[in-house]
Amino acid sequence: MKKYRVALTRTYLITITANDKEDAKRLSEFYIGDCPDSSIKKDRSEFNFLIEDIEMMYNNAEEILDENDLL
């Protein structure tokens, strides 16, 4: 079998309870960087937020390279 490297692009629709829009944006970007939600109870308590739902909206392989292209 051949080896491939795939650049994968994903878009998520996040439902989050937070203090304001900026917190919602910042906390979503930080804690959803490597889905699933990587926040822990201490983080949610300290920053006063809750990620309620994560729904993948887009998942598409943007670029696929043959292993010979990697050399």
**pLDDT in the model for residue 32:** 80
Q: What is the pLDDT of residues 24-53, one digit of tens each?
A: 888 888 888 666 788 999 999 999 998 888
CA distance 14 to 24: 9
Q: What's this model's pTM, rounded to 2 decimal places? A: 0.59
Element (DSSP H or E) covering residue 15: strand 4-17
Nearest alpha-carbon partner for 18 in 44, 57, 40, 39: 44
Q: Percentage of residues in the chain with pLDDT exceeding 70?
A: 77
Q: Which DSSP string corresponds to 25-67?
A: HHHHHHHTTTSS----HHHHHHHT-EEEEEEEEEEEEEEEEEG
pLDDT of residue 35: 65
